[in-house]
Amino acid sequence: MTSVDVDTLMAELAHLREENAALTRERDELRRERDELRKAILGIPAAVGLMIGPDHVFKIVNDAWRGLNPSLEPIGKPLIDAFPAPLGARIAAMLDPVFATGEPLIAANVPFTWPGAEETSFITFHYSALRQDSGEIFGIVFHGLDVTAQMRAQREVQSLNSRLRTFLALAENAPDSIVVTERGQITYANPAFFRMYGYGAEVVGTPLLDLVEAEGRALLDAHLQEGASPGAARAIVTCRRHDGSTFPGEVSTFRIRDEGGQIDAEGAIVRDLTEQRRAEQERQRLQEDLIAAQQRAIRELSTPLIPLAERLVVMPLVGTIDSVRSEQILETLLQGITAHKAAVAILDTTGVRSMDEQVASSLLRTAGAARLLGTEVILTGISPEVARALVEIGADLSGVATRGTLEAGVAYALGRRRRARGRR
């Protein structure tokens, strides 16, 4: 071999070594990029993985995917076997068209209840087909994002919106005034407030206490300053309308707190007591009229005056006679004597249970008053107790006829009337 051939071989060898070194560097660079890509995929906070073939065999899954359910280890398993039935079969049926056609698939807010889990999770998946250089599909890459927190937040927002709609519906249609204040100034007022107070939208920004008369401001202000007091505080105050007129109002104030428990605003419910007060006064008047009517009826029933014959009346007395009732007896007897022009009046005490000295004196006073009207008084049915009371007071019964029974008293009165007619 000539020196020329040796030089040529050495040059080719050096060239091959350079090409080999370049290929090695390229291989190392590809490996580095692959490892970095793999590391990046495995480190993505969203669930990422790769499935190969029509059976969707798991080739790669990252830590975020495993975090969805650490009990599942899918590597090397077909999708239908990697998940518990019927979940695996359901997902496989969704991915078959992606592998067959290459059309991507987005499955939003898919509910998952993992084995042993108490709550349902929600995941949004993106599935895309992987193709070889020839265009043939050989796998599916997927990206899954756990949206459970977002779903719960969305539901909380929906619930809050529903509660707000309910509150607004109640407030807008409530017959009582409802206001919300911040730092004492009105920020919201319902339609009933505008009707009750006569204000328009200009009331927003007005201090609530400006709509209360002076005597009630201190009371309401004290309630508003009691920030730590639970529940609502109520007070009856005089409220002032836009035109200067006033009305009695029951004001209930309460605190509105944020999620941290801090006072965010104040609420107040105002009820116009005008009609209630008017109704209470009417009920009081009716009650007083009823009581008066009952008392009149009781007086009439307890001291009845019965006309027995022409110019002859009898008053049967029953029960216990006290000072009040003795006055009723006197009033009823004198009115009856005048109305019936009675010449004889019989006071029958058969039913009287007890009588003290004061009442006995009043009874004799009644007889004396009747005589002044020209009427003869006959006492009948005097019991031993009544007789004892009359004796103890030294009663003067001259001019008063007495008989043991009512029948004897009636007979005596009728006989007197016949004798009087005979003399005429």
Mean pLDDT of 199-207: 89
Residue 95, number of CB atoms within 10 A of its CB: 20
Is the pLDDT at 4 greater than 60? The verdict is no
236 is written with which tokens?
């009856």
Give the pTM.
0.46
What is the structure's pLDDT at 1? 54
Using a pLDDT cut of 90, give the percent of the chain over it.
18
Mean pLDDT of 241-266: 85
Using a pLDDT cut of 70, give the percent of the chain over it.
87
What is the structure's pLDDT at 228? 43
> Which residue's entry shows tokens 């002859």?
312
Is the pLDDT at 225 greater than 70? The verdict is no
364 is written with which tokens?
């004799």
Lowest mean pLDDT among 30-44, 109-123, 228-242, 350-364: 30-44
Is the pLDDT at 423 greater than 70? The verdict is no
What is the structure's pLDDT at 189? 92
Listed residue (176, 236, 240, 178) closest to 209, CA to CA: 240
d(CA 145, CA 289) in angstroms, rounded, equals: 79
Listed residue (100, 102, 68, 103) closest to 87, CA to CA: 68
What is the structure's pLDDT at 419? 63
